[in-house]
Amino acid sequence: MAVAPFAVPGRNTTTVAIALGVRQPAQRERIVDDVQLLVKAFTREGVERESATQTIALNIPPPRRGSEFTRYDLLTRIDLKPGEYELRFSAHSAVLDKFGSVYAQVDVPDFAKAPLALSGVVLDATPGVPAAPVEALRDVVAVVPTSEREFARFDRVSAFARVYQGGKAALAPVTVAIRILDAQGAAPIEQTDTLGAGAFGRLRAADEKFALPLSRLTPGEYLFTIEASHGSTTARRDVRFRVK
């Protein structure tokens, strides 16, 4: 799964955008399914704070040629106050009458107060696996998140994150450094941008989108890193991915 917290204007909670990857035995024909999805959020002490249940209607095409599995993403969200949580997911397929579950950790920043903060990073891929419901996160992120973390060199993949300046201090320019590190710690890809104070607007937030140059990378494991800074204040997010 992929989880990424984003601030929502006018709310005292944060929306955690979720792309939950599901894999099942390959079907030769298109199948229609209803998947019941349950998400629960627990504090570090094991106290349940929030939960959400929904039924997602799926129209799943046959898998890619030669694939032993059908893959798709379930897109959902949960609203949480700042803090550290364990998210627990459970999904049930009506067609297969099977359950699957997985856990994830998420750290939700206090975007309204932190002088500088980053949302989570979401990846968007073309061609990607089917995702539903596609409109679930449109008001949160400008892309359709994928849980996929292994890509071919000809795939078109972008990373999306949002930079926030909380508090009431005057908006300032923010330097955004992007690096892609290989398994040996070398950085074949590095880029630095500056977001001017005017880019943040009245919501005190600015978007950063970066196209991963997969064709320039050899097969192997990589770490995508984005770091925002102004003065001595920094915020950083990392995402692992693989090129095949």
Matching residue, tokens 């920094």: 234
Q: What is the pLDDT of residue 70?
A: 84
Separation CA 232–CA 7 (nearest Å): 23
**Per-residue pLDDT at 233 exceeds 90:** yes
Separation CA 210–CA 58 (nearest Å): 30
Number of domains observed in the structure of the chain: 1
Q: What is the pLDDT of residue 128?
A: 84
- Do 210 and 178 form a contact (C-beta atoms < 8 A)? yes
Enter the tokens of residue 10.
């006018």
HSE-CB for 227 with a 13 A CA cutoff: 14
Closest CA to 87 of 138, 137, 134, 49: 49
Q: Which residue has the higher pLDDT, 146 or 142?
A: 146
Enter the tokens of residue 141.
């992120």
Q: Specify whether the backbone of 136 is left (phi greater than 0), alpha (psi in -120 to 50) or beta.
A: alpha
The pTM is what?
0.90
User: What CATH number corresponds to the domain at position 100?
Assistant: 2.60.40.3880
Separation CA 244–CA 241 (nearest Å): 10
Separation CA 198–CA 191 (nearest Å): 21
- Do 237 and 106 form a contact (C-beta atoms < 8 A)? no
For 64-93, the pLDDT digits (tens) are: 776 778 889 999 999 999 999 999 999 999
Residue 193: strand, helix, or coil: strand
Cis peptide before 219 (omega within 30 of 0): no
The range of the structural domain enclosing residue 204 comes to 2-243
5 CB-near residues (< 8 Å, 6+ apart) = 14, 15, 16, 17, 80, 106, 107, 108, 109, 119, 120
Q: Point out the least confidently predicted range of 33-42, 61-70, 165-174.
A: 61-70
- Do 241 and 189 form a contact (C-beta atoms < 8 A)? no
Mean pLDDT of 99-128: 94
Separation CA 229–CA 67 (nearest Å): 43
